[in-house]
Amino acid sequence: MDMETVKLSQIVERLAPELSSFLTSRELDIPIVLRDGIALLEPADAMEIVQHSICNGQRQALLQ
């Protein structure tokens, strides 16, 4: 399968909707490149992607 770019919000809505209230609109708008596309993601994958996205966002905020 080809790579696919989606917004974090699409991953959250599809696999972990309970997390949406914990994320900011800026975080939900982050583009995520998926090596094998969104169709093959599992809920555990979604959780890992969310965790990394939040950590990267916090790191960027600290650097500013």
Using one digit for the tens of pLDDT, what is the confidence trace for 5-37?
A: 999 999 999 999 999 999 999 899 999 999 989
User: pTM of this prediction?
Assistant: 0.83
Q: Is residue 20 classed as helix, strand or coil in its secondary structure?
A: helix
Model pLDDT, residue 8:
96
Dihedral through CA 36, CA 42, CA 11, CA 19, nearest 10?
A: -160
Helices 8-15 and 43-63 cross at an angle (nearest 10°) of 140
Answer yes or no: is pLDDT of 41 > 70.
Answer: yes
Model pLDDT, residue 20:
92
11 Cβ neighbours under 8 A, 6+ residues apart: 32, 38, 41, 46, 49, 50
